[in-house]
Amino acid sequence: MVSRGSSKNVKQTGEKDRKKKVLILSSSQGRFCSNILQKKLGDSYEVCGIVKPNSRLTDVDSAETLVRNFNENDCLIVMGGTNDIKTNYSETIPEGIRKVLPFPRQTNIIFNSIPARFDRFDLKHHVDKANRIIHAEINKSKEKSLQI
């Protein structure tokens, strides 16, 4: 920006200088992910991770205030669902996703698939089914947002 009465360029702090924000919400599977992502993305990003061990996808509604000031350059990453396998996940996973989707429309939201459980191979079928539920719920929301 050129200041009035001066031919020198004056840099003003503001939206253009603001670091892009990334917020990772996860159960224990996301531990240390924010540190790793911060190193990969560099100084132009501000990465924050909130880890809630044993949390379910329905617990992410508490993050709405954290993304209130996010814009189209910012991103919310949700890594959850693993602990929903212990419950009636065909209901809790869609409920958790529906709590996150009304967050500010300009916020980019990434839902991570539930990772495979190598310690509990007997859960493979449930993890696969839960991931199909996540994908279906997100696709439903995309169709709705296109109609608006």
We report the CATH number of the domain holding residue 142 as 3.40.50.1110
∠66-41-131 over CA atoms, to 5°? 65
- The reply to whether 27 falls in a domain is yes
Strand pairing report for 75-79 and 108-111: parallel
pTM of the model: 0.78
Report which listed range, 8-17, 18-27, 90-99, 110-119, is most confident.
18-27
- The reply to whether 10 falls in a domain is no
Q: How many domains does the chain have?
A: 1
Q: What's the domain range around 26? A: 20-147
User: Is pLDDT above 60 for 137?
Assistant: yes
